[in-house]
Amino acid sequence: MPSQCTPKERVLIAFARQQPDRVPINYSANPGIDSRLKQHYGLSEDDDEGLLQALGVDFRGVTAPYVGPKLHAEVPGRHVDLWGIHRRWITHESGGHWDYCDFPLKDATEEQVAAWPMPSPDDYDYSHVAEVCQRHQAYAVNGSAGFGDIINGNGMLRTMEQTMIDLITDDPAGLLLADRRMDIQVAVTARVLEAARGGADFLWLGEDLGTQIGPLISMDVFRRHIRPRYERFCSLARAYDLPVMMHCCGSSSWAFDEFSAMGIHVVDTLQPEAANMAPEYLKARYGDRLAFHGCISTAGPVAYGSVQDVVDDCRHTLEVMMPGGGYCFAPTHALQDNSPTENVLAMYETARTFGRY
């Protein structure tokens, strides 16, 4: 066990299912709690780096911003992004969220999907990638400009219902949409890795595969439509000798054997309240093949418990997941705005205090 690791070393050792000096720490949060945390630490609203350092976060990321032409017309009352996805802002008692709506490709034919404007990999700015990687060279840098996300990404344009029908029936319009999106994301990621000049440390992909009670799709659908498309990212990662982390919300452990066979090294989110996702089950069943990132529920004690509840829950997760290495401490998703500031602070203090080997 190293006596002292850099953040990069810490993450890569954990990804290799070994024990660093302490568990790596990661962070993701909605704007409300993010703002409150910055206020707590006396940071400006735009000081993202300052907050990551205050929390002890070992991860950083690099992206290539889109700088090409506007592809889709504005719609009153909507935010329309470069893929043509429509969102509307919904307020609630603890803040608000972006709700997907309108679904412009819901009834689209294969020809209409083929004609739908999408960004070109040539219209991203890769010029600052190497500089960002150099600036964060002490940290573990996520080099994935693409995320995958076939089900959600298609669902945002085509509805979730139609997306499921597409996958089950092999609908050519839905599959073409998935392939066009994936082609662009793989190409952009390849350009980012080339521009990074060795400064990227892993790829972080994502595909939600479970509800809270079981699989979202069948193994047959996974093997026909999900696995082959993600193997393109895995092949790209192998070309750069990079580990791959896969984000999966809900009850997703049913796919973890497939992940391991594909060349995925780390699984992310690990919602402990979902079926077959308890830390004890995951560590015993998959700990010899996969590393873990997440497992601190954003819908559990951090949101609804006392400070002591948070400490107890985080300590329990650490006690289960830490032995032998292979665990990164992180929320299961973005921390929600209904999480009390003191609970989030307790969460990260527990990781720094009790996450040492």
Q: Is residue 47 one of the residues assigned to a domain?
A: yes
- Global pTM? 0.97
Q: Is residue 213 one of the residues assigned to a domain?
A: yes
Q: 190-242 pLDDT, tens per residue?
A: 999 999 999 999 999 999 999 999 999 999 999 999 999 999 999 999 999 99
**Chain center to CA of 324:** 24
Mean pLDDT (the chain, rounded): 97
Classified as helix, coil or strand, 317 is: helix
Q: Is residue 209 one of the residues assigned to a domain?
A: yes
Q: Is residue 80 one of the residues assigned to a domain?
A: no
- Structural domain total, the chain: 1
Domain range enclosing 145: 7-69+106-354
pLDDT score of 292:
98
Q: Is residue 37 one of the residues assigned to a domain?
A: yes
The closest of 264, 294, 262 to 278, measured between CA atoms, is: 294
Classified as helix, coil or strand, 320 is: helix
Beta bridge partners of 266: 245, 291
The closest of 297, 304, 349, 351 to 329, measured between CA atoms, is: 351
The closest of 94, 98, 99 to 339, measured between CA atoms, is: 94
Annotate 116-169 with DSSP letters as a single string.
S----GGGB--TTHHHHHHHTTTSEEE--S--B-HHHHHHHHH-HHHHHHHHHH
pLDDT score of 1:
67
Q: Is residue 253 one of the residues assigned to a domain?
A: yes
pLDDT grade for 2, boundaries at 50, 70 and 90: confident
**Chain center to CA of 291:** 15
Q: Is residue 99 one of the residues assigned to a domain?
A: no
CATH (domain of 141) = 3.20.20.210
Q: Between 92 and 204, whose confidence is greater?
A: 204
Annotate 224-239 with DSSP letters as a single string.
IIIHHHHHHHHHHHHH
Q: Is residue 82 one of the residues assigned to a domain?
A: no
Q: Is residue 288's pLDDT more than 70?
A: yes
Quick one: average pLDDT of 309-324? 98
Q: 163-196 pLDDT, tens per residue?
A: 999 999 999 999 999 999 999 999 999 999 999 9
Cα–Cα distance measured from residue 175 to residue 169, given in angstroms and rounded to the nearest whole number? 10
pLDDT score of 145:
67
Quick one: average pLDDT of 234-254? 97
Cβ neighbourhood burial of 159 (10 Å; 0-12, 13-18, 19+): middle
pLDDT score of 273:
97
Give percent of the chain with pLDDT exceeding 70. Answer: 99
Tokens of 284: 């015993």
pLDDT score of 94:
80
For residues 19 and 323, is the Cβ–Cβ distance under 8 A?
no
Cα–Cα distance measured from residue 218 to residue 179, given in angstroms and rounded to the nearest whole number? 20
For residues 201 and 133, is the Cβ–Cβ distance under 8 A?
no
pLDDT score of 96:
85
pLDDT score of 139:
98
